[in-house]
Amino acid sequence: MLVTGHTGFKGGWLCLWLTMLGANVRGVALPPGAGPSLFSSLGLAELVDHRIADIRDQAAFRAETEDFPADIVFHLAAQSLVRLSYEDPLGTLGTNVMGTATVLEQVRRMPSAKAVVVVSSDKCYDNKEWCWPYREVDPMGGADPYSASKGCTELVADCYRRSFFGDTGGCQLASVRAGNVFGGGDWSADRLVPDIVRANVSRTPVIIRNPASVRPWQHVLEPLGGYLQLGARLLAEQAADFAEGWNFGPSADAFVRVEDMARGMQAAWGRDAAPIEFGRRAGDPHEATMLTLDSSKARGRLGWRPQLSTGEAIGMTAEWYRAHAGGQEDMRAFTERQIAAYSGAPTHAPSYFEDTTICA
């Protein structure tokens, strides 16, 4: 099994879950950034076949993947920050658009590949900032470089699906879109939960830029469970029926304001939580104020559904960061326990996707 972006937040959680299910995983990504990282906290370099390559470099990516007989590829490598996309639009487009094309070009030349899951974002939709959740049939778009890059990622995936995969090439391709994902081990800049955690640890106020904005919040394990369910279908009979785009967003009660999410996180953190302040900085770029997803297709056709309330998701996240800040926990074991509790599975299952219930 091949995972791109394994040194990132979602990629790290996915790789640990896959190794718990018995998968042989090779990860290809850029090195983790400076400072704390989930990759280091989990000791993933010891668990997976860890390779470094930039997906924009076709020769480098091919060199790190051509000898590995992956049956399924999870493509998570991306530039994932809206604000950074304003600072580096060409890098964002290069990674998210041409990088995706590079990955898919290599996958279609892998004789072992039976399925590929391209991980996109809820930002791929042409956001009208209306109150209705977006469905998989809604048009792609994006007013900022990040959102545009994710819309283009979906177009590239659809192009390869129609031109080279499925009936044409045998390998099945699906793309997936999640909401605002959070959980332990995310240290990204300019993201709400990591910003809150840094403020709590340093005992400085946390600044909330857009308190009234509504987002589809969900714990990282929620969409990852959906990706695994979809991956299992793509490796089974009638796989072509599932080779399309899928939303894995939270339930309606998780479409909450940024301020409410921040206050919930501080309540879960406890009495030593940092104070919350509100204010935008001069030059802050535009960010959408309303974005929600309709995941009824995944519920109806895959039987997938969110398992956690917003309060439970926040509680798990605060527990992870407090354990990390305390410095006394084995964070790999701690994270494995959270995955096992969420999935209802034993900590180590005999083989991935087989005899294993994932978020039933």
Full set of structural domains in the chain with CATH: 2-282+292-343 (3.40.50.720)
Can you give the pLDDT at residue 166?
83
**Residue 124 near residue 148 (C-beta atoms within 8 A):** no
Taking the C-alpha atoms of residue 311 and residue 56, their distance in angstroms, rounded to an integer, is 39
Task: Say what the pLDDT of residue 51 is.
Answer: 98
Can you tell me the distance from the alpha carbon of 165 to that of 169, in angstroms, rounded to the nearest whole number? 4
Question: How many Cα atoms are found within 13 Å in the side-chain-facing hemisphere of 152?
Answer: 18
| Per-residue pLDDT, 346 | 47
Mean model confidence pLDDT for the chain: 90
Half-sphere exposure of 143 (CA within 13 A, CB side): 9
Q: Show the DSSP H helices in 219-309 as ranges.
A: 221-234, 258-269, 296-297
Model confidence at 282: pLDDT above 60: no
Q: With a cut of 80, say whether residue 281 has pLDDT above it.
A: no
* 276 CB burial (10 A radius; 0-12, 13-18, 19+): middle
For residue 219, what pLDDT is reported?
97
**Amino acid identity for residue 151 in this structure:** G
Number of C-beta neighbours around residue 187 at 10 A: 20
Q: Copy the structure tokens of residue 119.
A: 């991980």
pLDDT of residue 253: 82
Ranges 29-38, 143-152, 351-360: which has the least confidence? 351-360
Two structure tokens written together for 53: 């390559």
Per-residue pLDDT tens over the stretch 224-253:
999 999 999 999 988 999 999 999 999 888
- Kind and range of the H or E run holding 31: none
Alpha carbons within 13 angstroms on the beta-carbon side of residue 123 total 24
pLDDT of residue 280: 64
CB 103 within 8 A of CB 62: no
Burial of 113-142, coded b for 16+ CB within 10 Å and e otherwise, reads bbbbbbbbbbbbbebeeeeebbebebebbb
Query: Which tokens go with 184?
Result: 């332990």
216-241 burial, b if ≥16 CB within 10 A, otherwise e? bbbbbbbbbbbbbbbbbbbeeeebee
Distances (CA, A) of 317 to 24, 221, 266, 298, 322: 27, 11, 11, 25, 9
- What torsion do the CA atoms of 162, 168, 172, 177 make, to the nearest 10 degrees? 0
For the beta carbon of residue 202, count every other beta carbon within 10 angstroms.
Answer: 10
- The pLDDT tens digits of the residues spanning 76-115 come to 999 999 889 999 999 999 999 999 999 999 999 999 999 9
**For residues 253 and 305, what is the distance between their CA atoms, to the nearest angstrom?**
13
pLDDT in tens, 214-230: 888 999 999 999 999 99
